[in-house]
Structures are given as C-alpha cells and as structure tokens.
Structure 1
Amino acid sequence: MMATDENRPSLRRLLRRFTASEAELDAAELQRESAEQGCTLADQCRRGQVVAVSGRLRTVVYTPRTNLPTLEADLYDGSDVVTLVWLGRRHIAGIEPGRQLTARGRVALRDDRKVIYNPYYELEAPR
C-alpha cells in the first residue's frame, strides 16, 4: 500500500512519539492542555500583557528578605517558564512542586525572566 498525503501527518506524529524523549512528550502534553484551556503559552507572553497561563510548578522557593518575604514558583507549560511571585507570603497551601495550576495576571520582566506578581490562581485536582 502506498502512503498518501493524508496518512503522512499521522505517520509523522507516530514516528515522533516513538523517537521523542519522555521530556519532549511531557512538554507537548503540557502545551496541548494549556491550549485546551484557552491559555497563552509562556513563550508567547510579553511584558505588560495580561495573560492566563497553565502548567506544572517545577520549583517553589521561600525567599526571606528583611523588608518583604516572597514565595516564588516556576510554572512550566512545555514551552517556557513563568515565575509566579507572591509578595509578603511564606507559604500557600497547595503551592508545591509538581502541582498543576492556572495563573492569571500581568507579565513583568525581572532579570530577563517572565514574572507575574501576586497572580490569581486556580489549583487543579492532583492526578
């Protein structure tokens, strides 16, 4: 049987799935889920833009500062990372590495990294 043009995209996808690393497959899945929720991909976020981003928390760090403590979490959506920063917080229940969430807010840049300060967020049920 000869391959037709309509079979090639699915064949390419199938071959990509067999040859892709687990990290690449995970990134593709996170991007797909983000798009399904109508969120902006992190690599498309621009400074000053109000966005909704969805993904998985990679790291959560409490930064004690003398004047204002902060809780910072890196949200990865398969395309890039957006750092979520809660000013004046030491801990937030449910904000932990591996947790899926959707965050909304205005994108800022800090040290060439995308940041959302005090985002509105919705935790997704643990899997």
Structure 2
Amino acid sequence: MSVEEPTPEEIERNARIDRLAAALFLAFGATGGTSSVPILRPVAEVLDAFGVVQTEPDSDEVQARLASVPGWAKERIREEAQPVPVEPNHHGIQETARVRSAPKRPKRIPKSARGVIANPGV
C-alpha cells in the first residue's frame, strides 16, 4: 500500500491551516474564553476554504506570537481534529438493494374481484 506524496499546493494549504488554527488558539486563549481544541482545525479549514488568510503573515510580531504556541497544543489540534465528512451528492443516482419484488400479474381476474363503475359520467 503506497502513501501518496502531498502536492506543493496541499503542503502550502496545510501550512495556512496550521497558522489559522494557531491564531484561533491564541485568540480564544487571549480573550479568556474556552474552546474545544478539536474544533479549531475544522474551523480553520472552513475559513481557509472561504479565503480567510492570517493578517500580516510577514509581521515579526505575529510570527513571534504564533511561535509561542506550544508544540503540544499544535499537535493536539492536528490529532484531535475530526475529519470533515464528504458532502453527499443529492443529485446523483442512489444505488439501493431491492427490498421486495412485485407479485406476478394474474392471467385472469375473478369476477368477484373486479371493480364495478356505479355511476358512469357523473
């Protein structure tokens, strides 16, 4: 079983997501709020998908603050992140197993089982 090497775009995207997750970790910690660490990475992935970028990525102050996030916190964010489920295709054909088949068509319907029209044309 071979493991596919990530493309340069995926490596860059993962780096952006890591920076966003670390920034979220700092933001929630600085405000005194509590946040669930496993939710930070999926939130960062959604923010990255919407085009949100970390402000001033080249700023020395921002990089120093992000570097101050402990390594165990970054690892915990990565490890405990729930995988984002794949969106189901609601427009595709759904393959389902047949539950039951219809009975055979009768060759002759008995007279007592035939329907009668009582008031034609009313």
TM-score, length-scaled by structure 2:
0.26
Structure with higher Rg: it is 2
More helix by share: 2
TM superposition score normalised by structure 1: 0.25
**1 or 2 for the larger relative contact order (CA 8 Å, sep ≥6)?**
2
